[in-house]
Structure 1
Amino acid sequence: MLLTRSLRFAPRSLVSTRLLSFTQADQPRVRIGSTAPNFQVDTTHGKIDFHEFIGNNWTILFSHPKDFTPICTTELGAFSRLKPEFDKRGVKLIGLSVEDVDSHKAWIKDIEDIEKQKFQFPIIADGKREVAFKYDMVTEEDFKNLESGLIATIRSVFIIDPLKKVRAMVIYPPSIGRNTSEILRTIDALQLADKKGVVTPVDWQLGDDVIIPPTVSDEAAKEKFGEFKKVKPYLRYTSSK
């Protein structure tokens, strides 16, 4: 994917002016368990304060290298198709790309034409690279040039809980499309873990057995979960239902 090369010839109107100071020392440290950095931006649904947008919901924030790019178009189409599934889980979706709102809205028309359905969640206009900076959404090389021209965000996904805590992160380079089913599976695992105090094994799917954490004694496990299968003292399975 020759995205980086093509961006060099982007129209001057797409190149952001120097509006922020991007230094490593000022960059928030976004880790699992940290509070998701807040920001105020324009989106295709109007201006938002991100923490107010989250409210008391789970939220998925995901970035895209550029509008009107092929992989991003397929990804946004997939998220659009899966929105009813995220809605069932109380999860809000919000995308991001570095172009302006008018560009996003034109791009959405293409996505709706392909998917044959209405596109219903907002896309952030991050022309100042403020969100890309706060969430460290760029490569090491691009970070050094963040103020000097059009920089593509890599494919970052942040799963944020109702307490505004980052619970999971997935990061891909621009050339690889994301797996939306895996993102949905991660939401299921996180919500189940919070609800039942369990953890999930490799390749777990909704409805599969789960693992009792080693910090729970056999006596406490029997009282809390009822029957369980003990493979090793530290590996005990129980039903997720």
Structure 2
Amino acid sequence: MREAIAVGATDRSDRIAAFSNIGPCVDVFAPGVGILSADRDSDTDTDLLNGTSMAASHVAGAISLLLRRDGWSTATPAQVETEIKNSATRAVIGSPALTTDRLLFTSPPPPFGGPSVALARHADGKLDIFGVNRDGLMFHRSLASPGSSTWGPWVQATEVGWWSVAADTHDDGRVELVELARTEDVWRRRQANTNIDFWSTWRQLDGKMTASAVARNEDGRLEMFGADRLGQTWVRWQTSENALTWSP
């Protein structure tokens, strides 16, 4: 079947297993020697098994992770096969002539949280620092005056359950906050006016992220960058300068 992904097996040294298929029909290799698997004697029985069936299971798991990504749930078999091949590690298994050198690769999820501290400058020149502690609480404090080395006290936000915070200043001088919840949800708010500790209500944005950053580009619009648990990076921007709406 041309639609099938043909999988060969490798050992723990990333060498092709003696029993593995080789040749131009093989699309990708994956671990297939000494793989911990379920066995038949009981519901909890396990065994170390060898075979291209073990290697194919690794590829099936990689495809499951791929289909979980945003935009991939409706991918065609051809698109999935292409992505599996393109993301594979090359030139490490010493494959013979007419046999692919692709070794299955899936990127690990990035650590949760992103930066737990962010800085932004108020319209009056004072810096504001925002931070999230290990309990998921957000705090912020401001310089007593522009250029000062004295800071005001920490002020705790009422909301809880945060992972990280990002911040930058709009062209109109108001600070914008982007926070990631421990559910990976993305939330944003901004100062109601410049130089005051009064903020708009939190608004949730679509998507799931594990790290984020915010920066202002040359035309005054803010851009938001993020990474998800699959290691993919994403970007979106305000639809216009100081706008409340964002691109997809």
Give me the TM-score of the superposition, normalised by structure 2.
0.26
Q: Whose strand proportion is higher, 1 or 2?
A: 2
- Greater per-residue helix proportion: 1
